[in-house]
Structure formats: C-alpha cells, structure tokens
Amino acid sequence: MKERSLIFFDIDGTLLNHKKQLPASTKEAIFKLKEIGHEVAIATGRAPFMFEDLREELGIGTYVSYNGQYVVLNGEEVFTNPLNEEALLQLTETALANNHPIVYMDHEDMKANVPEHEFITESIATLKIKSFPTYDPKYYEGRKLFQSLLFVQEGEEVQYEEEFKDFDFVRWHPVSVDVLPSGGSKAKGIEKLVEKFGIPEERVYAFGDGLNDLEMLTTIHNSVAMGNGVDEVKDVAKYVTKSVEEDGILHGLKMVGLL
C-alpha cells in the first residue's frame, strides 16, 4: 500500500460541475482513494447543511466548511472561528443604511435580516440546495456565527473592506460576498486537520478552482487547480488539471500519482 495521504476537495467547480452535478468519474475516484487507504476531506465555503447529501453520497465525515471557520473530523467539531458579534452588529447597521441585505449563518441554519430581496434569491438559487434563508433579523444575538453573506454588486464591497477590519470580504457571486473573520481561510482550517491526522505536509493535497481557494492552494504542498478555475488560482497552484467537465479530478489524481 502507498503511504497514506490527506486530500482536500473544494465543492463548487471542483467536485461538482456548473450544473451542481457530481461526475461519475469523480465519485469513483473518491472511493478508490479511500479503498487504497488515503484520507479524503472536503474544504468549502459552503455551510455544513449545504452539502449533507454530498457527504453522505461520498461517505466523507471530515470537512473544512465556511472557508475554514467550522472544522469537523469524522463527525466531531474540532475547530471554530466565529465572527465578532459587535463588529457584525455595526456591519449590519451600515448595510441596512445602504439597503444591502445580510444573511447570518451558523453550523445549523441561515437567516436573512430582510423578509426578501432579489439578490438573495438570485445568488442562493445558483447553489441548487434545499435550504433557503428565512427571516430573522436578530439571529446574530447570542450565538456563534461562522460566516455571513453581504449582498452588494461588484465594487460596492470596497467601502466595507475599508471600514470593517475585523472581516475579510470574498466575492462568490456577482451580487454577494462572503463575510469571514479577518485572516480566516480554508488553509487555516486545513492546518487544524493536518495536525490531527499527523500526516506530513508533503503528503497533503488540495484541489480547488475559485478565489476562496487561493490561500489553500498557495500553502498546501501539493496544490491542484481545476482547468475551469480562475487564472489567479492556476497561477499559484503546483499543478493544473483538466476541467471538472473533463474528468478533471480523476485526471489530477493520476497526474500527482495518487491513483
């Protein structure tokens, strides 16, 4: 048997194609990795409740969610990095004054601070998930939130970046940005799991395609960008595989010698 490695996969544009479908070759490759004895994990900007079906289908119980803010090892929470509640309240007040809605997110649910808004409907619909944020403007009170969504058009987030240094703002949709704790990233969450597994960095791999994968692919020893990934990701990755539509995961795993 080959030495055990730890492989992290992003979801959207990496495991799932643009139609949010899991290619058959990807599923087979994941099961082959596990059969060989490797550890397989997910590293995503999604909330845990947004990929339960995928975890079940692939038999994966270890994941980095919310871009590193909520980390689970074999079904057990091992690391959390919540948003600063006071700063989030200030952000909410500014956003409301600018007619920019917010969605608050913990590990179980998400709630919007407005009853409805076209930007929320438009962006969440692209995820093709079962859940949808319902209205609860006080959801941030007395609970740990690991991410929020701020609904602004491209360029409008600049004023928030300048004013709210407790947060990082990462665009994931033309009308929405992720709001994360400053310095929080998939890479930080992955670091916690690598420590738990005790696997040396030269046997850690990561696959991704988007801007929220930049730090992960910059810091992970064996980084693989998807062929459909953005140029910034391809520039920092050690390897570039084919697109998700062209069996990119299977091709990439063979390229790096895991399969």
Q: DSSP class of residue 229?
A: S
Q: DSSP class of residue 188?
A: H
Distance CA 169, CA 183 (A): 10
Nearest 5°: the CA angle 184, 189, 192 is: 130
- What is each CA distance from 137 to 38, 108, 114, 174, in whole angstroms? 43, 16, 7, 24
CB 151 within 8 A of CB 120: yes
Distance CA 241, CA 91 (A): 39
Q: Phi/psi of residue 103, each to 5°? A: -115, 130
Q: DSSP class of residue 52?
A: H
Q: By C-alpha distance, which of 224, 203, 40, 20 is closest to 129?
A: 20
Q: DSSP class of residue 220?
A: S
**Beta-ladder partners of 171:** 177
CB 192 within 8 A of CB 186: no
CB 14 within 8 A of CB 22: no
Q: Could you list the active site residues?
A: 10
Tell me the residue type at 41. A
